[in-house]
Chain A
């Protein structure tokens, strides 16, 4: 029996290797879903994982790659990223956004519905899927709008959209303000067991705000969004959820109050989940400093007290997942007076390192931190991803846990460079990303999936 040949990641990058079995040897295997954390091998064949664990040298004709010194975990699953196609291709495309994804170890992306036109029809879901097949480096799944054109008035064809492949429903950065519409949407979606995602910011309180309300906003003369804008939206939705049922997910929660509200709703047994994004556990309102537009976010960065509560929420499990909140904008959209600048930060390429920050800060174990970006979001979306399991698709990330690097906005793979973390030191860096067992990223995006 031929045992196969030994090769390196760099050599692998130069060749089309999908036809041969692949054995990644000697890596520290990290699987948050099963709690696995040990040195071992992963065998990949025909796009799927064939073996996880102890040393395996029996696979015939395999390419063996020595991965010692690296960590191997399931490819990351991102619950919310703007890929801007169709409509805003000057900011990002499915090709550029997905290459940023694999550079950040993200293998599955739920792309937000805030495109132009809005993803509110079956044809648009088809468009995203087709562009994903043609141009994407990572797996792109559409999130459809909950209401037509995300206007918050009429609900979309939730059933048909779901059949076509939409994994969740939400108006991305728009709050469904009308309580009747939200009630109908939750209730209707229940018939399809569809996940309803809400940008929980009460519009009448948040519309004029450009940063967190408080002493800093007052000093800078900027209009503030009070934290209560988020609490009110969440509390209303919790009431509706209790009334009509359904599966509800609050996107990017940012305040201490929100954590408390969701904790209580979960304790009552409601089907509620939520996520947050790295800016909200890494930064507070002071990042705005002297009108730094790159720190303008929607929802805004909150107080230090809130940031700490978000970390607590992640540790206690109240917050289920961490999404990148990847929100690309060209340079011109940020080089404006603060209140005219576009809110948001790119986040795909820094996601893993910032999640690891929770581990390095001693807040969470390595596996718990990784679970927020792997099997937990995957299970919310009903995706068979985010686990190192025999039979699962071989979406894998190899990263150097100790490697430090400095974020350089100009070197990001994404078409836009509006990161809130420019110049920040990170610890832990993606070295290689595999999708369906094929190496798609090794220092640079290599090939489409």
Chain B
């Protein structure tokens, strides 16, 4: 694929992006492409800048220099008012589930559709659809505290999927889960990716990266490096 073709199909692109925190250079002249329907792991040590990388994409942080594009948005040129509309194109999943504890599974998912102004009839239909997609149709009336960690993360994924985003950003989605629950979340993300959604996942879990192999990049000293699968396997064995 030529760089022009990659540009055409890229849903996220970074060009010469730098980020500084309190005069510390976190990302240094970074170039990156996430293509439509691609699955990419982002790895790196704690404090390497992985979260900053994601914050750039959902525009919680602006680059000190360079250009970030997400779908049709040039993030440096967009106004603050447009940020919510950018976030509707992204399904965001965090390690801490960020579910509303006083609302049922159904209400937690419906809430994402209510705040984006959908009609009641559509909301009902869509919530049933996404809950079935994540395998939680039978738990729709339960509250987050009544669910396991893996199930809670499924609700978060269902909520992220509700508005049919083009890109899924997952920041350590298996960080609080046991190996079985982690594998099941990975399978779910794989299914979502197979439906054509691009997935960018931050992780520390090399076993998962080995078990579900996709393009892997590492942030190291503010730079991005593509990591060959062989290195991942070697690292996981250690």
Verify that A and B bind, or say they do not.
no
